[in-house]
Amino acid sequence: MARRELRGEGTARGAALGTARIVYPLDFAVVSDPVDRHEVPAELARVDAAIARARAELDEVRRRLRGPLRREIGEFVDAHALILDDAEFAEGIHAGIVERRLNAEAALKAHRDQLVEAFEAIDDPYLRSRGEDIEQVVARVFAALKRGHLEPRRARAASGAIVLVAESVAPDEIEAWQHEGLVALVVTRSSVWSHATILARALRLPMLVAGPEVFDAVRDGDPVLVDADAGLVIADPDSLDLSRLRERQRAQARSARARAKLRTADTRTRDGLAIRLWANAEHEDDIVLARRLGATGIGLYRTEFLYAAHADGGDEETQFRAYRDAVLAMGGRPVTLRTLDVGGDKGNGSMSGTGGAPSALGLRGLRLSLAQPAAFATQIRAMLRASAYGPVRILFPMVTSLEEAARARAIVEACRAELDLAGVRTGEVPIGAMIEVPAAALVSDRLAKAFDFLALGSNDLVQYTLAADRNDVAVAACYDPLHPAVLALITMTLDHARRARRLLTLCGELAADPRATALLVGLGFTDLSMHPNALLEVRERVLGLHAGALRKRVRRLVAAGEARSLLEEAGD
């Protein structure tokens, strides 16, 4: 066929060429003829077997997870497992078979349609977005029904390079397709700040959101060129397209070689301001990469991986060994250990001890730890013990009040006294708070005095300020880190931290975006924490900036509501 070009929005930068693999929307072209009464037991058994196979697949995905994928993908594996484990999910399908005499596929489709309709009627954008999880779970069960007892297999592209074209993609599916040679993603439902997009960026996979017409324009097996920077999908690219891609890849390779030389470079602006670049981590692979690329330290070490492997996070000795190994691996550079942060889109109900679905506005972060003081004390003791092996900082997530701060710090002091009495060595451990909700930003002057340092979690701060879930496609346009209200809270927190002489580190996707580096330096940030893969690109950007010139200009642009112009300049 002739060359076909479609426009879309790039959400993860880059360009790649591969063979299209189409995952068509779940339209359930099923036969709805009623089954005979004597066939009902067999159809019920088919459904139960398919749910069991789907659940076993999720267990296998969880078992395979390693490195930086463990947290991003594990959250969704846990959420999908919860749905499959819910008795009402199977009962709804059973009802269609028993009461309406539908076959297994038709009953599954009917139940899916009913659930999706119910979710779409919910006003709350976060809860409404969970409807996508339902569709992904049902798709897994539907595939298991069609396969029967056969093991799942994926067709491999002849070229070994796959461009996945789908309505949406779950993080565990990205991981699975990586084993088959995934080089780019084209989806019709996602957002710039979704978990799938963030994972694609971390894995350096170009990703583009296109319109539904992509399913008509691209056929399974077509050669496809994805240019996420230009917002283009080209099926059957011509010789000129391929020539441009090769030249671009050569330029990218040259840039990568140049950046590699910055691993040991001093991260300073042209006028001499030192900018400290920290790394977010949760696995030894992240820490090894962070140290190799010259990170100042670990600005945020996620501890949720322990709770994925052990229902209670493991005993004190298990946690201590994990934290100690992280500290030793950084070779004397500071490691910021964040206490348990689950809830909302960060874990499942079993972690929170609620037994129900996690809530974005419920028992999560520091609230959860304070509600389980024994488990909290176990984690704190393990962290304090690890501080004997190198510099450690403890960071509390989702702090909302001074009362929480006081209670949490009292538990730390009690644990320290307990270890001192037992003759266990500990180091000096600064205690910090994450500013992730508007309430915390508004009282950040008082929180700065109550803590030794602060960390600003931009992802959650944007969500809570704008009431816009970054994973909900319906409100994707509302999720805006440069919204004047968000920037006002960020600026307020910066000013309060500066007056209290407290270090403030920016964590989250905003810190990892080199287009935002000039804005952040101009606002006054000197400490940024990001995925290790982003360190060199952000460092390169810092070296070209003049902090003094930026300060006056950025504050003026922010006050005028024109901060976005800085990102547009960086993208030129």
- Model confidence pLDDT, tens digit, residues 180-206: 889 999 998 877 767 788 888 888 899
In a domain? residue 469:
no
546 close to 269: Cβ distance less than 8 angstroms: yes
Q: What is the mean pLDDT of the chain?
A: 85
- 353-391 confidence digits (pLDDT tens): 444 444 567 788 899 999 999 999 999 999 999 999 999
Which pLDDT value is given to residue 22? 81
The domain of 28 spans 23-147
Distance of alpha carbon 65 from alpha carbon 62, whole angstroms: 5
Coil/strand/helix, residue 553: helix
In a domain? residue 49:
yes
- Given pLDDT bands bounded at 50, 70 and 90, which one contains residue 171? confident
- 211-225 confidence digits (pLDDT tens): 988 988 888 788 999
The closest of 371, 373, 379, 375 to 395, measured between CA atoms, is 379
Backbone φ and ψ for 359, nearest 5 degrees, come out as -120, 135
Are residues 81 and 43 part of one domain? Answer: yes
Identify the residue with better confidence: 112 or 517: 517
Task: Indicate whether this model's pTM tops 0.75.
Answer: no
Taking residues 268-284, report their average pLDDT: 93
Are residues 102 and 214 part of one domain? Answer: no
- Beta bridge partners, 338, equal 395
- Beta bridge partners, 529, equal 278
Q: Which of 94, 415, 496, 507 is catalytic?
A: 507
In a domain? residue 153:
no
User: Tokens in use for 59?
Assistant: 């267990």
Q: Which helix (H) or strand (E) holds 217?
A: helix 214-217
Taking residues 128-143, report their average pLDDT: 74
Burial of 313 (0-12, 13-18, 19+ CB in 10 A): buried
Residue 212 CB neighbour total at 10 angstroms: 10
Are residues 28 and 117 part of one domain? Answer: yes
CATH of the domain at 200: 3.50.30.10
Q: Which helix (H) or strand (E) holds 160?
A: none
Backbone φ and ψ for 364, nearest 5 degrees, come out as -150, 165
Are residues 30 and 137 part of one domain? Answer: yes
Taking residues 392-418, report their average pLDDT: 96
Q: Which of 111, 195, 283, 483 is catalytic?
A: 195
- Given pLDDT bands bounded at 50, 70 and 90, which one contains residue 68? very low
Distance of alpha carbon 66 from alpha carbon 368, whole angstroms: 26
CA distances from 381 to 282, 388, 389, 394, 426 (A): 19, 12, 14, 11, 10
**Among 203, 232, 257, which residue terminates a domain?**
257
User: Tokens in use for 555?
Assistant: 């504050």
- Given pLDDT bands bounded at 50, 70 and 90, which one contains residue 562? confident
- Beta bridge partners, 392, equal 335
397 close to 366: Cβ distance less than 8 angstroms: yes
Least confident range of 86-95, 155-164, 499-508: 155-164
Are residues 109 and 80 part of one domain? Answer: yes
- Given pLDDT bands bounded at 50, 70 and 90, which one contains residue 71? low
Are residues 130 and 241 part of one domain? Answer: no
Taking residues 152-172, report their average pLDDT: 68
- 290-300 confidence digits (pLDDT tens): 999 999 999 99
Distance of alpha carbon 166 from alpha carbon 27, whole angstroms: 13
State yes or no: pLDDT of 514 exceeds 60.
yes
Which pLDDT value is given to residue 224? 94
CATH of the domain at 30: 1.10.274.10
Distance of alpha carbon 435 from alpha carbon 458, whole angstroms: 8
**Among 112, 147, 182, which residue terminates a domain?**
147
- Given pLDDT bands bounded at 50, 70 and 90, which one contains residue 147? low
In a domain? residue 351:
no
In a domain? residue 29:
yes
Which pLDDT value is given to residue 358? 47
State yes or no: pLDDT of 347 exceeds 80.
no
Distance of alpha carbon 116 from alpha carbon 132, whole angstroms: 8
Are residues 210 and 119 part of one domain? Answer: no
Distance of alpha carbon 391 from alpha carbon 337, whole angstroms: 11
Are residues 90 and 44 part of one domain? Answer: yes
Which pLDDT value is given to residue 257? 83
In a domain? residue 279:
no
**Among 124, 147, 170, which residue terminates a domain?**
147
Is 195 annotated in the active site? yes
The dihedral region occupied by 520, where left means phi > 0, alpha psi between -120 and 50, and beta the remainder, is alpha
Taking residues 122-127, report their average pLDDT: 60
- Structurally, the chain folds into a number of domains equal to 2
User: Which residues, in sequence order, are CB contacts of 223 under 8 Å at separation 6+?
Assistant: 17, 18, 19, 20, 159, 235, 236, 237
Which pLDDT value is given to residue 509? 86
Are residues 123 and 188 part of one domain? Answer: no
State yes or no: pLDDT of 463 exceeds 50.
yes
Which pLDDT value is given to residue 158? 39
User: Tokens in use for 238?
Assistant: 């011509």
Are residues 88 and 192 part of one domain? Answer: no
Which pLDDT value is given to residue 382? 97
In a domain? residue 51:
yes
Distance of alpha carbon 456 from alpha carbon 397, whole angstroms: 10
Are residues 109 and 54 part of one domain? Answer: yes
Gap between the terminal Cα atoms of the chain: 34
Which pLDDT value is given to residue 359? 58
- Given pLDDT bands bounded at 50, 70 and 90, which one contains residue 116? confident
Q: 375: number of CA atoms within 13 Å, CB side?
A: 19
Which pLDDT value is given to residue 276? 97
State yes or no: pLDDT of 65 exceeds 80.
no
Are residues 192 and 137 part of one domain? Answer: no
In a domain? residue 186:
yes
